[in-house]
Amino acid sequence: STDFWLVVLTKDLTEPRMIEVMIDNLLSEFPIFCVCVFEQGKILEKIGICSQISFVRYMQGIKALGADQKLFIEDLWFEKVPVRIYQPKAPSASPRRGVMFFHGGGWVFGSLETHESLCRSLARRSESVVVSVGYRLAPEHKYPAAYEDCLHASIHFMKNAEHYGVDPAQISVCGDSAGGNLAAAVSQTLAGRADLPRLRAQILIYPILQALDFNLPSYKQNQAIPLLFQERAAFYVLQYLNGNSSNLEQVLEGSHIPIDIKLNYRKWVSEDYIPERFKVRGYKPHVLLDCSTEVYETVKRFCEPNLCPLLAEDAVVQQLPESFILTCEYDVLRDDGLLYKKRLEDNGVRVTWCHLEDGFHGIINSFNSEWMSFSSGKRGLDNIVNFLKSL
């Protein structure tokens, strides 16, 4: 009912069982129980019950895990940023590795809860101290809020690593999707900091790294493949940048950046640098379109590396730490990862690349799903853990 959802959205919840029953009733009234939460939220928004963003955020946080026999888990604040820290209980003869983890969700969704299981697994299996960052979300908090939260939390941890039993020289940043974007941006910023220990590594899990071209081969080939559609990718980055999705059509067709600027960045963002084997699945080159001054003025910050790390200068890229990049064949963001892999390697940075031929966006979070698990997700997580343990 409408009254129930008003209670949900104001977070004035005192009867968890009532919530479960009402959700069951709601889903039984709408024939959408087999549809993803995002589609359910779209329906609820259209009929005026609640916004899609509010519904998805609520559903993502509805399940909480209990205590962990192998980990100490504590919610803290690093400066003004909420974090959740996972520390192995087993004693260690030497300081441990540290991992700053930034969750995905298009800068709009995701939380400490959505990636709880993944962070627990990373901490247990790699015997590392993992710090998950609850950064501010768009559209309420626009760019650079999320980036700044992740940066400030990372700096705090690096300065206080020994307090958590972590070797300051063994700290890495890690993130998936939008979190991969944040990890890459933080890594670039910290690369030039002489007053802090050098990051040991960056781990980028199907990251989104540019917003100049949403018509690269992977975007066209996988534009309607779950869990991230081409249109949604552009929608999320606009929410992060401006707090709304105005000019979405222009961004999708490529008429949001002037041709001269596109040509300037073609040395880094171009289908020409995508290996041919990734173009055989029905790709046709996209025609370059120019844009109006008015449209460009609203999105010109897409050219900032803190928002689009693929556009960083070589002098910055050359300073980056050893890197791990995971890409999936059936993912619109595949080519962002491939292009960044090339940039890193061209600048002498060591890269470990894991490509899941049968993978899709978001698959790593399915590694232990109760209702749908994929072997490639487990394989991807194995590769991440093995990389961490090799550092």
Which domains, from first to last, does the chain contain? 1-62 (no CATH), 68-210+302-390 (3.40.50.1820)
Q: Is the pTM of this model over 0.85?
A: yes
Indicate the SS3 state at residue 269. Answer: coil
Contact 347, 317 (CB under 8 A): yes
- State the pLDDT confidence band at 9, using cuts at 50, 70 and 90: very low
Contact 204, 229 (CB under 8 A): no
Indicate if 177 belongs to the active site: yes
Contact 239, 138 (CB under 8 A): yes
Q: Given strand 201-205, what is the order of strands in its sheet?
A: 71-78, 81-88, 129-133, 96-102, 166-176, 201-205, 322-330, 351-360
Instruction: Write the CA distances from 207 to 244, 350, 354, 361, integer angstroms.
Output: 22, 18, 13, 10
pLDDT at 226: 86
pLDDT at 257: 97
Classify 243 in phi/psi space as left (phi over 0), alpha (psi -120 to 50) or beta: left
- State the pLDDT confidence band at 5, using cuts at 50, 70 and 90: very low
Lowest model confidence (mean pLDDT) among 125-139, 207-221, 372-386 = 372-386
Contact 122, 387 (CB under 8 A): no
Q: What is the pLDDT of residues 244-265, one digit of tens each?
A: 999 999 999 999 999 999 999 9
- Catalytic one among 149, 176, 331, 335? 331
- Catalytic one among 177, 255, 366, 376? 177
- State the pLDDT confidence band at 286, using cuts at 50, 70 and 90: confident
Is the previous residue joined to 227 through a cis bond, with omega within 30 degrees of 0?
yes
pLDDT at 369: 60
Region 109-126: mean pLDDT is: 96
Distance CA 357, CA 376 (A): 8
Indicate if 376 belongs to the active site: no
Cβ burial of 127 (10 Å; 0-12, 13-18, 19+) is: middle
Q: What is the pLDDT of residues 220-239, one digit of tens each?
A: 999 999 889 999 999 999 99
Distance CA 262, CA 303 (A): 10
pLDDT at 20: 41
Phi, psi angles (nearest 5°) of residue 83: -135, 160
With a pLDDT cut of 70, the percent of the chain lying above it is 86
Indicate if 361 belongs to the active site: yes
Distance CA 208, CA 14 (A): 38
Q: Which two tokens stand for residue 5?
A: 């959802």
Lowest model confidence (mean pLDDT) among 28-32, 67-71, 218-222, 287-291 = 28-32
Mean pLDDT of the chain: 89
Which of 304, 328, 334, 359 lies closest to 188 in space, CA to CA? Answer: 304
Residue 10 has pLDDT above 50, yes or no: no
Region 291-317: mean pLDDT is: 97
| More confident: 36 or 155 | 155
With a pLDDT cut of 90, the percent of the chain lying above it is 77
Classify 362 in phi/psi space as left (phi over 0), alpha (psi -120 to 50) or beta: left
Region 71-99: mean pLDDT is: 97
| More confident: 35 or 359 | 359
- State the pLDDT confidence band at 63, using cuts at 50, 70 and 90: low
Distance CA 300, CA 68 (A): 46
Residue 340 has pLDDT above 80, yes or no: yes
Instruction: Write the CA distances from 113 to 58, 84, 173, integer angstroms.
Output: 11, 10, 19
Q: What is the pLDDT of residues 125-184, one digit of tens each?
A: 999 999 999 999 999 999 999 999 999 999 999 999 999 999 999 999 999 999 999 999
pLDDT at 36: 62
Question: What are the CB-based long-range contacts (under 8 Å, 24+) for 115-118?
Answer: 115/176, 115/365, 116/64, 116/65, 116/84, 117/65, 117/365, 117/368, 118/176, 118/364, 118/365, 118/367, 118/381
Which of 323, 328, 317, 390 lies closest to 350 in space, CA to CA? Answer: 323
Is the previous residue joined to 144 through a cis bond, with omega within 30 degrees of 0?
yes
Distance CA 41, CA 108 (A): 14
Region 185-213: mean pLDDT is: 97
- Which of the 8 DSSP states describes residue 279? S
